[in-house]
Structure 1
Amino acid sequence: MNSTSFIDLTSTNARLMLCGEDKVDLLDRLSTNDISALKEHGQGLSTVLTTNKGRIIDLIKIYFFEDHLLLVSDMQSICKISEWIEFYTIMEDVTQIDVSDETFQIRVFADDINSIFPQKYHCEIDDFFVTVIDGVSISVTRNKMNTKQCFDVFGNKKHKNTIIEFLKNFAMQLESSQFENLRILVGYPKFGNELTEEFNPLEALLDDHISFNKGCYIGQEVVARLNTYNKVQRQMVQVSSNHDLDIGEIEFEGKTVGTITSVMKNNGIAYINKKILEETSQVQFGSFDVEIHLI
């Protein structure tokens, strides 16, 4: 794969504007990270929406603009997220505006964003800057998929083709299958596969998106107890084989010890019983041996 590449995520991800005086406080009470730390235009962070049982609704991005927050989630989870926010909005001054149809999102994989954009920028992971390309105003966020650095570009959808043509001067456009392969190879979780209400954030290795010092949020008691008493039963891992894999149960010594949740040919992502990880690095899928790789 070209070291500099990009993928159009416009129809893959949803974008929701949150307006009103209580938007930060409300999201802080609904998700795992310290949303109250967002105070200035250009700041952002990742956080996990969890159920009251501490299970994953989705891993989302929150970006702080002067007059609103931009929430970015998987397109398949946005209805649940919107309903979740609405359910817990009682007296709070919070308004939701779904801007998915009016905006675009493009993810760029590049070692140095300054090699693409003319200005010199530096920002922390999840923060963003605003720039102008060919007369088009865009927001560029610094992101990462585990160890893979990337940048997300947001803007008005009517200008998407202009930005795509601009990026083609520097990078190769990825097909969805290539992006999925990259996601699996770096062990990054996806909504509907690894990010579901079957798993909790600690099993999904989302510790970096959890504040263990903030006030209460939905599901906090469960997540905190799992962390404090080391009660996490499963762990997300990468798996590989000499044979093509499929989604399904994996075994060790004839017993089910985990589940493959994503596959691309002979590579995949799975959840494995943590006790098994202490015993072996090889399990079975059907009649095939499967190697476990820690993320």
Structure 2
Amino acid sequence: MPTSAINSKNAAAIHAAREGVAVCDRSHWGRIRVSNDEHLRFLHNQSTNDFQSLKPGEGCDTVMVTSTARTIDLVTGYVFNDAVLLLVSPHRRAFLMEWLDRYIFFADKVTLTDVTDETATLSLIGPQSDAIVEKLGAGSLVGQPYGNHILVDGIIFAVGSGLANPGYTLIFPVAEKQKLWNQILDHGALELSDRAWEMLRILQGRPVPDLELTDDYNPLEVGLWQTVSFNKGCYIGQETIARLNTYKGVKQYLWGIRLNAPAEPGTVITLGDEKVGKLTSYTETPDGHFGLGYIRSKAGGVGLKVEVGTSSGEIVAVPFVSHEYP
């Protein structure tokens, strides 16, 4: 068992995220408030999911894409009566503020507000998260669909951990952070470090900007089918995505890769003498070496044996993404 990349504290927290409950500080993620009379229509037109079908108290994941459907960020949106709160990837908030502002025209009734610095975000991760949410007064959320959320004592409680694990995400005024953090630890959650989060997100296949989400890939190649509405009509990148779906034109897919040795992101993946893809992320885990990478669809999928530089790998499914229409 490799030990150099993971200490006993991280190993315990990862186990808790799988079997019990862990808590991760995601306050460094960006939070953007989209408000005014046309906020739902605006987001509906700027991303892949169907915001206009959502009611206050509901939410969804969506992908911000370019006009040619290349991926910018995977974003979670929470719908309120007068606004949508977007949880965006670290290092993407300034870019997305500028990107979205570019599409607000003079007559549009849309206001963008970066509320990152005045708020904080914690995620409860694991099957025992329900018990803590109940103790914090948000038990009515247990069992509700992904993205559903309620406000309790100034804290937004939302279904979804940010990973494939069950859990909840809490967004609240930054002044309450230490108090709430201590309460959650007192209720039995283990702290999940940023490094352990990164390990879990690679093991589960959650894509991130600059690695899996770049100008080289579209949402269907990533496997983010649950974020794409094929019925909502026109939006940025819609024509490309619709064409890929209609004509089964997805040429590569994101997969997990179980490796026998370390490998560097960016390394070419080969099958014999043929280049079939590229490694995008790598981590050492308690169970061995693991990576994410794009593989040409014609080369194969689960069970395929490949070479990643000097390492050997086997393609495996990862739970965060899917390669067929849900």
Q: Give the TM-score category using the shorter length.
A: over 0.9
Residue 284 and residue 81 in structure 1: after superposition, are their counterparts in 2 closer, same or farther (change >3 A)?
A: same
Q: In the alignment, does 2:114 pair up with 1:98?
A: yes
Q: Which amino acid is 2:316 matched to? A: H
Does structure 2 retain, via aligned residues, the 8 Å contact 1:239–1:268? yes
Q: In the alignment, does 2:153 pair up with 1:125?
A: no
Residue 152 of structure 1 is aligned with which of 148, 166, 169? 169
Consecutive unaligned residues in structure 2, runs of 5 or more:
1-14, 319-326
CA deviation string 1:34-69 (max 9, x = no partner): 0101232x1111111111101111111111122221
Counterpart-to-counterpart distance in 1, 2:48 and 2:149: 21
Moved more, 69-78 or 28-37: 69-78
SS at match of 2:282: strand
Does structure 2 retain, via aligned residues, the 8 Å contact 1:125–1:144? no
Q: In the alignment, does 2:237 pair up with 1:222?
A: no
Q: In the alignment, does 2:268 pair up with 1:276?
A: no
Q: Which amino acid is 1:157 matched to? A: V
Q: Which amino acid is 1:229 matched to? A: Y
Q: Which amino acid is 2:275 matched to? A: T
Quote the sequence identity (%): 29
Alignment of 1:256-267 (within 5 A): 256-265=275-284, 266-267=289-290
Residue 97 of structure 2 is aligned with which of 58, 82, 94? 82
Residue 65 and residue 278 in structure 1: after superposition, are their counterparts in 2 closer, same or farther (change >3 A)?
A: closer
The normalised TM-score by structure 1 is: 0.94
1:81 offset after TM fit, Å? Answer: 1.5
Counterpart-to-counterpart distance in 2, 1:140 and 1:102: 17
More strand per residue: 1 or 2?
A: 1
Counterpart-to-counterpart distance in 2, 1:278 and 1:48: 24
Does structure 1 retain, via aligned residues, the 8 Å contact 2:123–2:162? no
Q: In the alignment, does 2:94 pair up with 1:66?
A: no
Residue of structure 2 equivalent to 1:165: 182
Q: In the alignment, does 2:167 pair up with 1:182?
A: no
Runs of 4+ that moved beyond 3 A = 144-147
Residue 38 of structure 2 is aligned with which of 5, 10, 22? 22
1:278 offset after TM fit, Å? Answer: 5.6
SS at match of 1:29: helix
CA deviation string 1:184-242 (max 9, x = no partner): 11121112211122210000101111010001000000000001100001100001112
Q: Which amino acid is 2:126 matched to? A: A
Q: Which amino acid is 1:139 matched to? A: I
Moved more, 223-232 or 42-51: 42-51
Counterpart-to-counterpart distance in 2, 1:278 and 1:105: 36
1:74 offset after TM fit, Å? Answer: 0.9
1:288 offset after TM fit, Å? Answer: 2.0
Residue 138 of structure 1 is aligned with which of 155, 177, 193? 155
Does structure 2 retain, via aligned residues, the 8 Å contact 1:143–1:149? yes
Residue 67 of structure 2 is aligned with which of 52, 71, 75? 52
1:79 offset after TM fit, Å? Answer: 2.0
Residue 174 and residue 278 in structure 1: after superposition, are their counterparts in 2 closer, same or farther (change >3 A)?
A: closer
More helix per residue: 1 or 2?
A: 2
Counterpart-to-counterpart distance in 2, 1:34 and 1:236: 24
Provide the aligned length of Structure 1 versus Structure 2.
289
Counterpart-to-counterpart distance in 1, 2:39 and 2:184: 34
Superposed CA RMSD in Å reads 1.6
Alignment of 1:33-52 (within 5 A): 33-40=49-56, 42-52=57-67
Alignment of 1:220-259 (within 5 A): 220-247=238-265, 248-259=267-278
CA deviation string 1:135-188 (max 9, x = no partner): xx2111111556421211110001111111011122001111111111111121
Does structure 1 retain, via aligned residues, the 8 Å contact 2:279–2:291? yes
1:114 offset after TM fit, Å? Answer: 3.2
Counterpart-to-counterpart distance in 2, 1:9 and 1:278: 33
Counterpart-to-counterpart distance in 2, 1:250 and 1:211: 32
Residue 8 of structure 1 is aligned with which of 25, 35, 42? 25
Q: Which amino acid is 1:65 matched to? A: F
